[in-house]
Amino acid sequence: MEFAKTGNAELLGRPPLSESEEKAKMLIATDYARKMSLDMRMISGKYGDHPDNKASHCAANIAKYYNRFHAQKGTQFVFSDLGTYKPGEWNVYSEIKRKLVQEHGIPAHEMRFIQEAKMKSSARSLYRQLMKERSGYCSVPPKCSVRG
């Protein structure tokens, strides 16, 4: 709130705002709020995990649907409008996967990232492989949104 009032970027751990950023300080405040509600580590690596962030709730919802439709070999697609999967770097996609594996016992090999595909044809191949592995396809609508 204080940043939105004053524009003091140091409150956010940022250098002072440029002239153009000063005009967009409410957009900057909104962007930070969205990221903070998803996972504070989107702002800074100095923060740790929190069981009540949106990433944790999302993982719990995904696990609920996974368990509910596991016998039918259900498939879920999860999209985040914040962050991008990057191998070897902390990101919200990998964090949700970590939570699903470690906290909810879902096998890691059952989860894939579309970013693993290098081209559209690879993405189609990845999708076909998923459908083949999940024979008895049952589409589970993603009831979990990772939107900030």
pLDDT at position 42 over 50: yes
pLDDT for 43 beyond 50: yes
Cβ within 8 Å of residue 42, ≥6 positions away: 35, 36, 82, 83, 92
Residues 6 or more apart whose CB falls under 8 angstroms from that of 35 comprise 42, 43, 82, 148
- Judged against a pLDDT cut of 70, whether residue 113 lies above it is answered with yes
Reported pTM: 0.74
Residues 6+ apart with CB under 8 A from 101: 107, 108, 111
Q: Of residues 31 and 73, which shows the higher confidence score?
A: 31
